[in-house]
Amino acid sequence: MAESGASTVGNGRIEAVVSDFGGVLTTPLMNSFLALQDAHGVGPEDFGKAMRAAESAGDGENPLFKLERGDITEPQFLEILRDGFEAAVGHRPELHRFREVFFQALDPNEPMIELMRELKISGRRMAMLTNNVQEWEPLWRTMLPVDEIFEMVIDSGYVGYRKPEKQIYEITLERLGLPAEACLFVDDMELNCEAARELGFTAVQYRDADQAIADVRAALA
């Protein structure tokens, strides 16, 4: 099994780099959840309580996961989340401008974007693999030079699977036309990196820009 920083292709060359979006090419997603709490007047633990209440009232799965697969729409998700708030904390926030607040709290992670641009110029194939939401695409695509750097985007909201489900990695490999051993995956969630490693990817977990850039360079050396 390939670990972070280890080359796995027989000829020593990794041909493609597959990058996450939020938390790797942007500032941390926690910033967005804190902004949502401020905007809607809910406490730091209330979103978690509302999600757990929504899971219990439904089929036991986090409704955000369903939203990211495209199984439910954003309006349906927000209604489920409001139900969860009512059950968990006794009030029902309106959650106006949910997506706008979420993305306004994110900024491009310029060092990682420059790294991805450099890797494309060096001749690597470039793909983005993101857990995202169909309705949010116009917002996040305007944040970054996505089409300049990445030849393809595999978006959970459109393919019906989300990381760390193995099917979304398999879809990525099918679209690239490459084996996992020829690909480097970068994500801020270790769970997602481990799922990629199990399929044969080399994976780098992003913790901060300096660390991730060094680990990516070592993996590609």
The model's pLDDT over 190-202, given as tens digits with 9 standing for 90+, comes to 999 999 999 999 9
Tell me the per-residue pLDDT of 136-151, one tens digit each, with 9 for 90 and over.
Answer: 999 999 999 999 999 9
Q: Report which of 113, 77, 91 is spatially closest to residue 42, judged by C-alpha positions.
A: 91
Is the pLDDT at 7 greater than 60? The verdict is no
Burial class for 82, CB neighbours closer than 10 Å (0-12, 13-18, 19+) = middle
Tell me the per-residue pLDDT of 207-217, one tens digit each, with 9 for 90 and over.
Answer: 999 999 999 99
- Quick one: which H or E segment has residue 125? strand 125-130
Residue found by looking up tokens 């494309």 in the block: 120
C-alpha 212/C-alpha 221 separation (Å) is: 14
pTM for the model: 0.90
Quick check: helix, strand or coil at residue 75?
helix
Quick check: helix, strand or coil at residue 116?
helix
For the chain, the first-to-last Cα distance in angstroms comes to: 18
What pLDDT does residue 46 have? 86
Is the pLDDT at 129 greater than 80? The verdict is yes
Task: Please tell me what DSSP assigns to residue 96.
Answer: T
